[in-house]
Amino acid sequence: MLAVPLCVLWAGCGPRLRLPPVPPEPPGALPHGDTGATLARQLAPVLYLQADEWFPLVRAVAVLHPTRPIIAYHLLWGDDAHGAWVPFTKPSDQEIVWVGYDSTGVPVDLWTYWHGDVLHVPWPRRQVLVDVQWGKHGSLPRATRPGSLPPERSLESFYLLSWAGVLDLWLGRLSRRGPLCFCRGYSRYTAFTRPVGVAERLDAIARADDPSALLRAVFGARYSRKRPWP
């Protein structure tokens, strides 16, 4: 008899996103005209969101590795569709895309963070494109074959989770605005049609092996702290 009221009470305790102002001089940030900053803007990916995505991209940071030809694009989404009502969970969703480049400054490799895995593909020396999963924001190289993903972390399994976890989504609404369901079919779930450019949304660009001080300053103390490099 007490299970539902207790669940609702916990849902009301879910964290809410409160971002700090972006500091005028984030730790280690490069000047706007620095060659590294220019390169980071040139190689910034274009994200393709699923058409029904609820949560916006609220912050973005680019970090150049000091010794390797790779740039990490840290993306902070407004929330994750699932688990938002759980006390002490992170009130945002951090994801990462890494772009590797050659001596001429063109992209030749792409890594994306996908639910604990890092996916890698060679990139054909053109604009980097990334598909973004509905609600959970796992990142996929554009036009990734669904069958190439780990079975337990396939797009189909996450689509089924969106239905099996409907109660979880409803409880999340008690903490913040969010979806009540993914109310479409699987073909719609895998249609990534809303382009969002990262270059014009970068809040800071830096060169660092350990970007944690910069990310804390821009993302706030409570972000996911995922592995900084592939």
Q: pLDDT for 107-152, tens place per residue?
A: 999 999 999 999 999 999 999 999 999 999 999 999 899 889 988 8
Residue 14: band (very low, low, confident or very high) from pLDDT cuts 50, 70, 90: low
Check: pTM over 0.85? Answer yes or no.
Answer: yes
Among candidate residues 81, 91, 86, 83, the one with its CA nearest the CA of residue 180: 81
Q: Which residue has the tokens 């800071």?
A: 204
pLDDT tens-digit readout, 48-77 = 999 999 999 999 999 999 999 999 999 999
Among 121, 128, 126, smallest CA distance to 104 is for 126
SS3 (DSSP) at 8: helix
What tokens were used for 119?
């996916």
> What gap in Å lies between CA 195 and CA 6, rounded to an integer?
41
Give the residue among 20, 168, 18 at the shortest CA–CA distance from 90.
Answer: 18
**Model pLDDT for residues 114-123, shown as the tens digit of each residue:** 999 999 999 9
How high does pLDDT run on average in the chain? 90
Q: The tokens 């772009």 sit on which residue?
A: 99
How far does the chain reach from its first CA to its final CA, in angstroms?
Answer: 48
pLDDT-derived band at 210, boundaries 50, 70, 90 = very high
